[in-house]
Every structure is written in C-alpha cells, then in structure tokens.
Amino acid sequence: MKTALYEGKHNIKMTTQPIPECGPNDVLIKNLRAGICGSDVAVYEHGLASGHKIKLDHPFGHEMISVVAAVGKNVTDFKVGQRVYPYPLLASGDPSNAGSLGGFSEYLLVPNAHLNRELYLVPDSISNRTGALIEPFTVGTHAAYQAHPQPGENAIVYGAGTIGIAAATALRHAGCQKIMLVDLSDYRLSIARQMGFATCNSSETDLEAACTEFFGLAPSLNGQVPAIDITIDAVGAAEIFDRFMAKGPIDSRYVIVGVAKQARQVDLLSLTYSSRAIIGSGGYRPKDVQIVLDIMQHNNDLIEKMVTHEFAWEDLEKGIQTAADPQHALNVQIVYQD
C-alpha cells in the first residue's frame, strides 16, 4: 500500500508497506480522502519543535473519511463497503498515535473496532469531500460548545481557517444570532461570506467600529462595548485575549482553541466582577462527533465550499505547501478514491 512517512522538517518519504491483516476483532479501512491539518503543515515547515504530536519515521495524517475493506471474524458492528470516520484518539489502539494515525497511507488497521468508539458510520447524505472535514469540524464544534452558546446570542470567531469556520457553523447550529469571522486573509473570508457569515479583515477595517455596527452595544466594567457574548480564539494571538479582557461585556465567555504558547497574566478581580469566563478547548469528545454528523447532513453543500484544493497522494508535499498559504487556500485534501 502507499504510505507517507514523516522524516522531519521538509522531509516526507513516499513509499510502500504491506497492507495490514485483520485479527479476529479488527477492521481494515481504506482511506478515500485525507485532509491536511495545520499540525501537518507545522511539522513540515518547522519540525517536531513545533510541539505537535507527530512521530518521526512514522505514518501521519489524521483527518480522514474511509471505507471498510475487511473485517475480522468476530466483528459484527461493520460490513465491507460502509463509509466510516476513524476517531484518531482511539482508532490506532494507542492514544499517543492520534497525530500519526495514517491518513496519508492507503490503508489503516483499526484494532478492536467498535461502533461509535473507534469508528463512526458516515450517513449517505454526507459527501466524501465534506466527510473528510469531520475531524477538524469536531475540534471547532467542541470549542463552540465549550462556550455554552444560547439561542439569540452573538459571537465573534478569530481565524477563518477550517477550525474557525467549523466553530462558527456550530455556533449557528446552536442558535447564535449574529456571528462574525475575523481574519487577515480576504481569500478565506470570502469563503466564510459564501457560507453566510459576516466577516472583517482586521488589517483593513477598524474592528471596533465594525463590531459596534454589527453587534450593537452592551455594558462592561469599562462602559459600553460591542455586544459579543462569545469569543472563539482559533488563532492564539495575544492581542485577541487582551481585547477580551479589556472589552468583554458582562457575562461574556472567551474560548481558546488556537495554539498559544505565550504565558498570560489574568486580572481575576475583573473576571469576578464582570462574571466573565476564560475557557480552554483541546480536542473533542464522542458527543461532538454526533453533533458534527448532524450539522453536516443539513449543510453538506455549504461545507463543501471550504475545500479549495485537491491533490493525488503522489503530490502530498505540494498539497502541504499549498495548505501553508492562507491567502490562497483553505482546506486541502488528498484524494485516493471518490
């Protein structure tokens, strides 16, 4: 089978390996499509020092939609030909391999596979193109629901990449009334607008004025500010957190899902007096997968707009380089079979 091994910064080994054989409780899946995650880009561009959990000399890629190719003699949950989503944390049998699951390999063995644990069935109404977005959508959806969104609330999402747009889509699904995506890429913001979201390029437009006009005003400890109940930070930049601390309305919530390595000082007294919350969001949970499958069944055509480039397996390195350019790409996928 075709296999891509991560060998370090700017180094991918495109090779072949034997197709794994099923044990009595295992499922062999064949990948149909694999998405290129920001973590794949980061380790390609910067090496393992980027902090992402991808192993050297190991298969990598973890955003996949697959089809059951073979099942062990004791397996009753799955049949050959069913499309499935492999849950990265569990599908390899070792949670430490989540980032190195093997999306950029043709086949993957899922040991001791169970329905709605290691593997989830993908409904027919979800296309392969949309299905390859399930994994990052669960990350964005988990972030959105960490904010405990309520119908009629307003939200701002920083970062119009796959995670940010996924979070915005989940907030809309939860009933949020006004949602704005903020980014520096006109290309990505144009796709967000096609999906029905308000947008702001903060390098070209006064963000404070744009937020006031779109959201209206609400009280804070420092006077009237834009009425933003929920802030989702899918970027991890210090100024986003600082803005929330200075401008967050009473009862508002800030959720960080973007990678932020810098230490922060937090004014706990301000948080207490304003009843605001700072919430972290790492990964996702099984319930998020079910929410995403529901979202995708009702929004398949819209979500497909996020896929901007498709490459054959042989062009994986070109695909990663393309995904690294936010001014000209959003979600990039490797296509094995459609």
Whether the Cβ atoms of residue 226 and residue 208 lie closer than 8 Å to each other: yes
In tens digits, the chain (338 residues) has pLDDT values of 999 999 999 999 999 999 999 999 999 999 999 999 998 999 999 888 766 678 888 899 999 999 999 999 999 999 999 999 999 989 988 877 777 889 999 999 999 999 999 999 999 999 999 999 999 999 999 999 999 999 999 999 999 999 999 999 999 999 999 999 999 999 999 999 999 999 999 999 999 999 999 999 999 999 999 999 999 999 999 999 999 999 999 999 999 999 877 888 899 999 999 999 999 999 899 999 999 999 999 999 999 999 999 999 999 999 999 999 999 999 999 999 88
pTM as predicted: 0.95
Cα end-to-end distance, the chain, whole Å: 18
Rounded CA separation 159/63 (Å): 19
Closest by CA position to 204, among listed 191, 189, 194: 189
Extract the tokens encoding 193. 């607008």
CB neighbour burial string for 96-105, b if at least 16 within 10 angstroms, e if fewer: ebbbbbbbbb
